[in-house]
Structure formats: structure tokens, C-alpha cells
Amino acid sequence: MDGRNVAGHGFLKPGCVKIRINMAELLNCWKCGATLADVPLPLSRLAECPKCRAYLHAFRLCQFHDPRLTGRCREERAEAVRDPESANFCDWFRPRLDAHRPAAGGRQQVAKSQLAGLFGGTDDKDGAVSRDAAARAELDRLFGNPDRDS
């Protein structure tokens, strides 16, 4: 064997092993993060996520998507993006492996709890003490509860 790849795509070094990777196994839905291993490639224009039914041939899944460029693509020759979540006919579309961006709820939740801690109590839906009740308890502690003294 002369070291030539079977498919004729170049040369392999002696001792190298060719690994075939299915890109669909690495792709995740841009919206819910579900694996797209069962979705055939190349993605058709109307391909949908099997879990959340979001369109996959959408700007949000493209490697040229940049959230900092509102309504614009990093590919200069591409048309302006009207709806980044809808299916499109873009010829420059290339699926991106890191398209799923989990919601920033973790940072927001930490900030809200720190803010609530600053002003006494929390405003959580988990049944925690409300700000009003915490303020009333602090006033009672500082000035005494007149109902208890009688």
C-alpha cells in the first residue's frame, strides 16, 4: 500500500488510524440542547429537533451566527437575518457544534438572591419569607412587639 487514503483524499502517515466521526452525534439543538444524532446530514431546510421541534436549518445553529451582531451574519456576502430562529435558504449555512447556550438563569438567580439578602428576606416562589414579613420581624426585634407586652 502506498499510504494513500482509500477514498483518495490525501495521504496517511504509516501507523495512523483513520477515525470516522458522525458529525450529527456531536451536534446539539440550538434551543433545547438535545442531541441530533438521529437527524440526517446535511440538514434539510425544514429539519426539526426531535425533542422541541425547533427548526435546525436556522441562523441560531449556524457557525456564522454571532449574538453580538444583531440581525447580521459574520459571512459578509450573506443576506440580512430577519428571524434567527426560523428555517432559511441560506447557502452559507454550516452547522455549529456549540450552538446551544443554556439560559443564564444561574447567574440571574444568584444576583436576585444576593439582592434580596441585602434588603432582608427573599422574593422566591419556594415559600421563603417575603420582604414584608422579614422587615416586620426585624422591626419587632429592634423595637419590641407591643402585642407581646400586654
Q: What is the DSSP letter of 41?
A: S
Tell me the range of 14-28, 31-45, 108-122 where mean pLDDT is highest: 31-45
- Reported as a single tens digit per residue, the pLDDT across 99-141 is 887 766 666 777 777 777 777 655 555 445 567 777 888 888 8
Q: What is the pLDDT of residue 19?
A: 56
Distance between CA atoms of residues 148 and 150, nearest Å: 6
pLDDT of 2 > 60? The answer is no
Q: Say which amino acid occupies 84.
A: P
Q: What is the pLDDT of residue 40?
A: 87
- Name, in order, each residue with C-beta under 8 angstroms of 27's C-beta and a sequence gap of 6 or more: 35, 36, 37, 39, 61, 95, 97, 99
- Reported as a single tens digit per residue, the pLDDT across 44-97 is 889 999 999 999 999 988 988 887 877 788 888 888 888 888 899 888 889 988
Of the candidates 31, 77, 74, 34, the one whose C-alpha atom is nearest the C-alpha of residue 54 is: 31
- Name, in order, each residue with C-beta under 8 angstroms of 30's C-beta and a sequence gap of 6 or more: 54, 56, 58, 60, 61, 99, 100, 101
Q: Look at the pTM and tell me if it is higher than 0.95.
A: no
Domain ranges of the chain: 17-102, 105-144
Q: What is the pLDDT of residue 53?
A: 92
- Classify burial at 27, counting beta carbons within 10 Å of its beta carbon; exposed 0-12, middle 13-18, buried 19 or more: buried
Distance between CA atoms of residues 100 and 111, nearest Å: 23
